[in-house]
Structure 1
Amino acid sequence: MKSKIDQIFNPEKFIYTSNDSQEIFVADYTERTASVRSVEVHQIKPKDIDSLIINNPTKVNVFTSIFLPQCFIDENGKEPKQCECVMNPTNLHTFSWILFIEIKDCKPSNASNYHKECKEKILENVQLFRDKNIISENKIVYAVVSFPRKAKTNFHNHLIKAPEQKQMRDMHKIIIKGTNEITIKNDRIII
């Protein structure tokens, strides 16, 4: 996926990482550091910020493409909404999972104010990747919306109701989940 991204977009607007640790932590420092730091992927839980936890018990080697500001500027100079990053197994094949991640580091009481915006970012970025042939039109992808400061790890039913969840799957080929913790089962399945 990296080579396709680099061919289409400015490679300097992306940070790439890979690791195969049993736990992966994705943290968004953008708001707290006034953009001095952005999204970071860690193998050890950060002590200074809450993060999305990705359990990886089978130690799949995971490749992450972090989206820096203005990475998706179009030919008209317009910047679409963007989520934080996309992950996939390093040995990507037709049946591999692809995971888009949106993290909102806000006060738990404000989380519901961002539900719509978070879903829009996921939709825009997945569609952009489809439009640019980075991922195929029929590929079902995963998406996680994380509010790391919420004490509950799973707030899925608050983020997306059953009819909208079905619509996301049927119309957009996106399986979306609102949670602060997911598990990589293998290179094909995330739960």
Structure 2
Amino acid sequence: MRDNIEEILPEHNLQLTNSPNIYIVDYKNINGEGIVMHETKPDPKYVLLENLTPIGIYFDGFEDNALPLEEPGVCNSQCECVLFPEECNQNDWILFIEMKYANDREAAFRENRDYPNCMINQILETVKYFRDKKIIPEEKRVNAIVSFPNLIEEFSSTFFTGRMSMDDILYDHKILIRATNSGTIKSPKRIYI
């Protein structure tokens, strides 16, 4: 997968870590910096991936307009980032993450913002792009996290109340998606979200 990203998206900057804790932060609305991976706990809220073994993990934090289409100046909808094991074997997991920094539950689920459906669509569009460009195989099941890092209370039970359920997304798009702020990397073959 690393080779495919480097060939098809050469402007992307893959970072490798084997930290036991991987913190993903979207600084876009904080200081304009974009998506950053930390190995130590940062001040802003984050998505935490516990890397229990630990193994080498590649991180590709997407900058704005990171997925160009054929038409000049037109880019694909995208999520925040993708992570995958260093070994890049065919049966290894792949994880896409989308985050929104709503300050409370009401803002996160406000109907006029439609964050849940927007976040799901960003994951679906990013995965489709990666499949269409042959970065990942068409039939490969991938994982995804949709996250509200600022919410400390549980939000997954109300996230998938729209047009698609988690099961629909898994069946129709081969994406195991969860609404959470954390995950656990067990091995190159196993990740729990």
Aligned 1:2-81 pairs, distance under 5 A: 2-9=2-9, 11-12=10-11, 14-33=12-31, 35=32, 37-47=33-43, 49-76=44-71, 77-81=73-77
Check the 8 A contact 1:51/1:180 in 2, yes or no.
yes
Mapped partners of 1:86, 1:61: distance in 2: 14
Q: Which has the higher helix share?
A: 1
Mapped partners of 1:182, 1:46: distance in 2: 17
Mapped partners of 1:58, 1:6: distance in 2: 26
1:161 Cα deviation from its structure 2 partner = 4.7
Q: 1:127 corresponds to which residue?
A: 128
Mapped partners of 1:159, 1:189: distance in 2: 24
Give every structure 1 segment of 4 or more consecutive aligned residues whose post-TM-superposition deviation is greater than 3 Å.
none
* 1:128-187 C-alpha deviation (Å, 9 max, x unpaired): 0010111111100000011110012x4222222596111111110000000011111111
Check the 8 A contact 2:24/2:48 in 1, yes or no.
yes
Q: What TM-score, normalized by structure 1, do the two folds share?
A: 0.91
**Pair 1:151-2:152 in alignment:** yes
Mapped partners of 1:103, 1:170: distance in 2: 23
Mapped partners of 1:155, 1:183: distance in 2: 18
Q: 1:111 corresponds to which residue?
A: 108
Aligned 1:78-89 pairs, distance under 5 A: 78-89=74-85
Identity among equivalent positions (%) equals 33
Mapped partners of 2:93, 2:68: distance in 1: 26
Q: 2:176 corresponds to which residue?
A: 175
Give the letter aligned to residue 94 of structure 2: I
Mapped partners of 1:66, 1:46: distance in 2: 16
Consecutive unaligned residues in structure 2, runs of 5 or more: none
Mapped partners of 2:181, 2:142: distance in 1: 18
CA RMSD of aligned residues (A): 1.5
Give the letter aligned to residue 38 of structure 1: G
Mapped partners of 1:97, 1:89: distance in 2: 7
Q: 2:88 corresponds to which residue?
A: 92
Aligned residue pairs: how many? 185
Consecutive unaligned residues in structure 1, runs of 5 or more: none
Q: What TM-score, normalized by structure 2, do the two folds share?
A: 0.90
In 2 relative to 1, CA 151–71 (structure 1 residues): closer, same or farther, beyond 3 Å?
same
Mapped partners of 1:15, 1:121: distance in 2: 20
